[in-house]
C-alpha cells in the first residue's frame, strides 16, 4: 500500500471548499471535538479527532475541545483528564479553547424561554410512559398532548417553577411544539428539558432541569461559532431538529455534516461496552493494551503517528463499513519499522555453552541499531561462552526444512559467530543445555570461506542478560464482530489474549530504555517498556509481531 496523499480530499472537505468559495461563514472554518466525559476515548474517537483538528489545521481554522457534559449522573473528572491527555498525545492542540457544555446551561435556559415566548415550546404534564404512547410509530402518527395548547404565560410560569425545583423528577417536561404527525419521529414534539434532581460535576446543585442532547448540541455549536459541526451518521435524522431549533431562535446557525463512524473487526467500539469490560475486570483497565482505547494503544506501544496515519488512510465517507484490524496493525508496523532500534531478547531461554571458549571469555560485538536507518548508530552487545537462545530454535530431531539448530547442524548467532551443536544435555528427558563449538574465524557472523549457513538465531549472553517479564497480546475477541454473533459479547473474549512470560532474558541495553520507548527484538516483533517497570523489575509489552498479515490480505 502506498503512503497517504496529503492532498486527498473527501466529501466534507469538498463542502468546506464550496462554503469558502461562497463566503459562507465569512470564509471561516471552526470545528469542535465534543466528547461526553463518560468513558475513555477509543480509536473511533481518534477518527473524529483527526478529522476535526485535521481540518482546522489544513484550512487555517480552529478546533475546540468541548466536553458535552449535559448529563449530570455519569460524568467523572477522571474521564475529563484522560480525554485531554489522549487528544494531546495524538498530537493536537485546542490552545485556549477548552469548553464545557454545562457552562452554557444559563444561556440554554434563556433561549428556551424565548422558544416558549414565541409559542414554540410548552410544558407537558404527561408521564414519560404516556409521552412514549402518544408518540405513535413509523406507520402511525402521534397524538397531541392535552397540555400542548397551554397559554404562553402559563408555560413561562411552569418552566420557571420547573427550574426552581418545585416539581418532582419526571413530573413535567418542556417540549418543542413542532408536529406530532411528522414523518421523522425526532420532530414529534421532542423533549427539551427534563427534571432531574441530581448533582452535576461542574454546576453542583444549581440546576435541577437538564437539557436533552438535541436541544443542547446545536446551541453549544452556535454559542461557540462553530462553522461545520461534524458528527456520525446516526445523527443524520436528527439534523432537521438541529436546524429547527436554530431556525426558531435568534442565533447563529452552524451546519451539521454527518460521516460514517469507524468500526473495526475483532473489537467493540462503544464506551458503554468498554466500561462493562473494565467494571467486570475482564481487562486490567481502560488502558489495558488489548483495549481499542487510545490509552490502551499508547500502552501497547502504538505510536501516535501510526494512529494518525491509519485515520488518514481510512478517510471519511457517508457509508458505514467495518475496517480490518490488520490495517491498523499494518500502519503500526510500518511506523515502528522505520523508527525502532533493534535489540535482542530471548523469551523462552535455552542455555548454550560454547565449548571452545574459556569460562572467563568476554567480548563486545558492535551491532547496528537499525539496518534501515544508518543514522541510528551502533551499540555494543556483550558476548561470552554462556548464552541463551530461544528454546523453539532447537529441535533434537528436526524435519527436513528446519534451518535452525539441531545436533551436528551449524547456524549463525547474529552478529557473533557461526556455531555447531556438538552435544545435548538433558535432565529427565528435557533438553536443558546445548554444547556448541564456535568457528572462531567467523567473528561478526560471516563464514571465512564463504560457506552458506542458512539459519540465523538471536541470543543473549547469559552472564550479562537482564531478566524481564514480557507480556504478549492477541486479539481481545475470537470473532470479527462480537456484537453481531449469538450470546453476550463478553462470551467471545479470547482467554488467551494475554500471555505473561516470566524469566525472559534480554540484552543489557534494554534496561537503559525509558518507559514508553519502542524497539524491535530481532525476529520477535516490536516491543515497548511498560509503565509497570520499576528499579528492580523490567516489564515489556509486545506491541506487535513482525508478520504483516495485511500485506497478505491485500494480495489475495
Ligand atoms: P460511544 O458510542 O462509544 O459512547 P459516542 O458517540 O457516544 O461514542 P461521544 O463522546 O459522544 O461518544 O463522541 C464524541 C465524538 O466522537 C462525537 O462527535 C462522535 O460522533 C465521535 N465518535 C464516536 N464514536 C465514533 C466512531 N466509532 N467513529 C467516528 N467518530 C466517532
Ligand atoms: Mg454518547
Whether residue 215 sits in one domain with residue 300: no
For residue 36, which ligand has an atom nearest its CA? Answer: 1
552 in catalytic set? no
Whether residue 350 sits in one domain with residue 326: no
Quick check: is 265 in a domain?
A: no
The conformation of residue 467, written as its DSSP 8-state character, comes to E
- Residue 65 is predicted with a pLDDT of 98
- Residue 1 is predicted with a pLDDT of 37
Whether residue 136 sits in one domain with residue 194: yes
The predicted-structure confidence for 166-201, as pLDDT tens digits, reads as follows: 999 999 999 999 999 999 999 999 999 999 999 998
For residue 37, which ligand has an atom nearest its CA? Answer: 1
Q: What number is the average pLDDT over the span 64-90?
A: 91
For residue 68, which ligand has an atom nearest its CA? Answer: 1
Quick check: is 2 in a domain?
A: no
Taking a C-beta distance cutoff of 8 angstroms, is the pair 141, 170 a contact?
no
As a whole number of angstroms, the distance between CA 64 and CA 46 comes to: 15
Q: What number is the average pLDDT over the span 230-258?
A: 98
Give percent of the chain with pLDDT exceeding 70: 97
The predicted-structure confidence for 479-511, as pLDDT tens digits, reads as follows: 999 999 999 999 999 999 999 999 999 999 999
Whether residue 508 sits in one domain with residue 369: no
Q: What number is the average pLDDT over the span 46-70?
A: 97
Whether residue 534 sits in one domain with residue 408: no
The predicted-structure confidence for 119-150, as pLDDT tens digits, reads as follows: 999 999 999 999 999 999 999 999 999 999 99
Whether residue 208 sits in one domain with residue 81: yes
Of residues 555 and 526, which shows the higher confidence score? 526
Residues with CB under 5 A from ligand 2 (ion): 36
Q: Which of 211, 234, 259 is the C-terminal boundary of a domain?
A: 259
CA of 363 to the centre of ligand 2 (A): 60
The predicted-structure confidence for 359-408, as pLDDT tens digits, reads as follows: 999 999 999 998 878 888 999 999 999 999 999 999 999 999 999 999 99
The predicted-structure confidence for 284-340, as pLDDT tens digits, reads as follows: 999 999 999 999 999 999 999 999 999 999 999 999 889 999 999 999 999 999 899
Q: Which of 203, 224, 259 is the C-terminal boundary of a domain?
A: 259
CA of 36 to the centre of ligand 2 (A): 6
Q: Whose CA is nearest to atom 2 of ligand 1?
A: 270
- Residue 76 is predicted with a pLDDT of 80
Whether residue 410 sits in one domain with residue 350: yes
Report the domain count for the chain: 3
- Residue 428 is predicted with a pLDDT of 94
pLDDT, mean over the chain: 95
Whether residue 55 sits in one domain with residue 90: yes
The ligand 1 atom nearest the CA atom of 38: 10
CATH of the domain at 426: 2.40.240.10
Quick check: is 86 in a domain?
A: yes
Q: What number is the average pLDDT over the span 13-20?
A: 96
Residue 8 pLDDT more than 80? Answer: no
Whether residue 139 sits in one domain with residue 87: yes
Whether residue 354 sits in one domain with residue 337: no
Q: Whose CA is nearest to atom 4 of ligand 1?
A: 271
Quick check: is 30 in a domain?
A: yes
Structural domain that includes position 288: 271-341+468-555
pLDDT confidence tier of residue 7, bands split at 50, 70 and 90:
low
Whether residue 315 sits in one domain with residue 303: yes
Q: What is the pTM of this model?
A: 0.94
CA of 261 to the centre of ligand 1 (A): 8
- Residue 374 is predicted with a pLDDT of 84
Whether residue 86 sits in one domain with residue 224: yes
Taking a C-beta distance cutoff of 8 angstroms, is the pair 210, 72 a contact?
yes
Q: What number is the average pLDDT over the span 202-230?
A: 97
CA of 133 to the centre of ligand 2 (A): 25
- Residue 486 is predicted with a pLDDT of 92
- Residue 2 is predicted with a pLDDT of 41
Quick check: is 93 in a domain?
A: yes
36 in catalytic set? yes
As a whole number of angstroms, the distance between CA 292 and CA 516 comes to: 18
Q: What number is the average pLDDT over the span 62-88?
A: 91
Quick check: is 170 in a domain?
A: yes
Q: Which of 398, 433, 458 is the C-terminal boundary of a domain?
A: 458
Report angle CA 420, 422, 424 to the nearest 5 degrees: 120
Give percent of the chain with pLDDT exceeding 90: 93
Residues with CB under 6 A from ligand 1: 34-36, 44-45, 47-48, 231-232, 261-262, 269-271
Could you tell me which of 27, 25, 37, 105 has the C-alpha nearest to residue 66? 37
Which grid coordinates belong to 225?
461559532
Look at residue 311 and give its three-state secondary structure. helix
The conformation of residue 189, written as its DSSP 8-state character, comes to S
As a whole number of angstroms, the distance between CA 528 and CA 514 comes to: 9
pLDDT confidence tier of residue 3, bands split at 50, 70 and 90:
very low
What SS3 string covers 514-546?
A: CCCCEEEECCCEEEEECCCCECCECEEEEEECC
Quick check: is 46 in a domain?
A: yes
Q: Whose CA is nearest to atom 16 of ligand 1?
A: 45
- Residue 371 is predicted with a pLDDT of 82
In this structure, are strands 349-354 and 386-390 parallel, antiparallel, or unpaired? Answer: antiparallel
Beta bridge partners of 505: 346, 467
Residue 430 dihedral angles phi and psi, to the nearest 5°:
-100, 135
Quick check: is 495 in a domain?
A: yes
CATH of the domain at 223: 3.40.50.620
Amino acid at each position: 500500500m502506498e503512503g497517504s496523499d496529503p492532498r486527498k480530499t473527501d466529501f466534507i472537505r469538498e463542502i468546506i471548499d464550496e462554503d469558502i468559495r461562497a463566503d459562507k461563514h465569512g470564509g471561516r472554518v471552526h470545528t469542535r471535538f465534543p466528547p461526553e466525559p463518560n468513558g475513555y476515548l477509543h480509536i473511533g474517537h481518534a477518527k473524529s479527532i483527526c478529522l476535526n483538528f485535521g481540518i482546522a489545521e489544513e484550512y487555517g481554522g480552529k478546533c475546540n475541545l468541548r466536553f458535552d457534559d449535559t448529563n449530570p449522573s455519569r460524568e467523572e473528572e477522571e474521564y475529563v483528564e484522560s480525554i485531554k491527555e489522549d487528544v494531546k498525545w495524538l498530537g493536537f492542540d485546542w490552545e485556549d479553547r477548552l469548553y464545557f457544555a454545562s457552562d452554557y446551561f444559563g444561556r440554554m435556559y434563556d433561549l428556551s424561554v424565548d422558544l416558549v415566548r414565541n409559542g414554540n415550546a410548552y410544558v407537558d404534564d404527561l408521564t414519560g410512559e404516556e409521552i412514549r404512547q402518544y408518540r405513535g410509530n413509523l406507520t402511525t402518527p402521534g397524538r397531541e398532548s392535552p397540555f400542548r395548547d397551554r397559554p404562553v404565560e402559563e408555560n413561562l410560569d411552569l418552566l420557571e417553577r420547573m427550574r426552581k425545583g418545585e416539581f418532582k423528577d419526571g413530573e413535567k417536561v418542556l417540549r418543542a411544539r413542532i408536529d406530532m404527525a411528522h414523518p421523522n419521529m425526532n420532530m414529534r414534539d421532542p423533549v427539551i428539558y427534563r427534571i432531574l434532581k441530581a448533582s452535576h460535576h461542574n454546576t453542583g446543585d444549581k440546576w435541577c432541569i437538564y437539557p436533552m442532547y438535541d436541544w443542547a448540541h446545536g446551541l453549544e455549536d452556535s454559542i461557540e461559532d462553530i462553522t461545520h459541526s461534524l458528527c456520525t451518521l446516526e445523527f443524520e435524522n436528527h439534523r432537521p431538529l438541529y436546524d429547527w431549533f436554530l431556525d426558531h431562535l435568534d442565533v447563529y446557525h452552524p451546519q451539521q455534516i454527518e460521516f460514517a463512524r469507524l468500526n473495526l473487526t475483532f473489537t467493540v467500539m462503544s464506551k458503554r461496552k468498554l466500561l462493562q469490560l473494565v467494571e467486570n475486570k475482564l481487562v486490567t483497565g481502560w488502558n489495558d493494551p488489548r483495549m481499542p482505547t487510545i490509552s490502551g494503544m499508547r500502552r501497547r506501544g502504538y505510536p501516535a503517528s501510526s494512529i494518525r496515519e491509519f485515520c488518514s488512510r481510512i478517510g471519511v465517507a457517508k457509508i458505514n463499513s467495518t475496517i480490518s484490524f490488520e490495517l491498523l496493525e499494518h500502519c503500526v508496523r510500518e511506523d515502528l519499522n522505520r523508527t525502532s532500534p533493534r535489540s535482542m531478547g530471548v523469551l523462552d531461554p535455552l542455555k548454550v555453552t560454547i565449548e571452545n571458549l574459556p569460562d572467563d571469555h568476554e567480548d563486545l560485538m558492535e551491532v547496528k541499531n537499525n539496518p534501515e536507518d544508518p543514522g541510528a548508530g551502533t551499540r555494543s552487545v556483550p558476548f561470552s561462552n554462556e548464552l541463551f537462545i530461544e528454546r523453539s530454535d532447537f529441535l533434537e530431531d528436526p524435519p527436513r526444512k528446519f534451518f535452525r539448530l539441531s545436533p551436528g547442524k551449524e547456524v549463525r548467532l547474529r552478529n557473533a559467530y557461526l556455531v555447531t551443536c556438538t552435544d545435548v544435555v538433558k535432565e529427565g528427558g528435557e533438553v536443558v543445555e546445548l554444547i556448541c563449538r564456535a568457528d572462531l574465524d567467523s567473528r561478526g557472523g560471516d563464514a571465512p570461506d564463504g560457506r552458506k549457513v542458512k539459519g540465523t538465531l538471536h541470543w543473549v549472553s547469559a552472564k550479562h542478560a537482564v531478566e524481564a517479564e514480557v507480556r504478549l497480546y492477541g486479539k481481545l475477541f475470537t470473532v470479527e464482530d462480537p456484537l453481531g454473533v449469538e450470546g453476550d459479547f463478553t462470551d467471545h473474549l479470547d482467554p488467551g489474549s494475554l500471555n505473561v512470560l516470566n524469566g525472559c532474558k534480554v540484552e543489557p541495553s534494554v534496561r537503559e530504555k525509558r518507559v514508553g520507548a519502542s524497539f524491535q527484538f530481532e525476529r520477535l516483533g516490536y516491543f515497548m517498556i511498560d509503565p509497570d517497570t520499576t528499579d528492580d523489575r523490567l516489564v515489556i509489552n509486545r506491541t506487535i509481531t513482525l508478520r504483516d498479515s495485511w500485506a497478505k490480505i491485500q494480495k489475495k
